[in-house]
Amino acid sequence: MAPFLRILHDEYAPAFFGRMVTHVIDRIVEGGVPVAEEQGIVAPVRTFSTMILLHHSALGVTDIAQALGITHAAVIKYIRTLSDLGLVERGRDNQNARRRPIFLTEKGKAQVELIDLYMRRIAEVYTQMFEEIGIDVYDGMRRMNDALDKRDFGQRMRED
């Protein structure tokens, strides 16, 4: 390991936890995108959760943002991308003229079938990796998220 990396990984560990998580996520996406493309998936990897939600029901931007815990701006960006690919369309709500639910097109429904298979394989790969490293990272991250719900990171930093 290069001396400067030792500073990040040893001297300040685990203070660079966020950087490490981002690095690992980037590597997972980098390795997974070509596999998704090989399987005929045209939807961007980061939109898969949106596609899966829409497979179950037409939803508005607010509904998607709340379900995924992301910003409205991020959802709008994803929807624009998916719309440009012909995977989703905006509809009309007869009860609320302002609400424009988003739904999957036929092409989008076909993509969700491929995404479903892809995500099931990812779950298998993660399970194998967790067994390999002896840590259920998903469970740990879920528990970390729950702990942050109780007391956010800023509060924790300000405590004595």
Mean pLDDT over residues 71-80, rounded?
Answer: 96
Query: Could you tell me which CATH number the domain at 43-158 has?
Result: 1.10.10.10
> How far apart are the C-alpha atoms of 76 and 62, rounded to whole Å?
10
pLDDT digits (tens, 9 = 90+) for 36-74: 999 999 999 989 999 999 999 999 999 999 999 999 999
What residue spans define the domains of the chain? 1-38, 43-158
> How far apart are the C-alpha atoms of 78 and 137, rounded to whole Å?
27
DSSP string for 5-16: HHIIIIISTTTT
Please list, in sequence order, all residues whose beta carbon lies within 8 angstroms of the beta carbon of residue 116, skipping any fewer than 6 positions away. 52, 55
CA angle 63, 66, 69 (to 5 degrees): 145
Q: The whole model's pTM is what?
A: 0.83
Residue pair 32/125 in contact by the 8 Å Cβ criterion:
no
Report the 3 state secondary structure along 102-145.
EEECHHHHHHHHHHHHHHHHHHHHHHHHHHHHCCCHHHHHHHHH
Confidence of residue 4 (pLDDT cuts 50, 70, 90): low
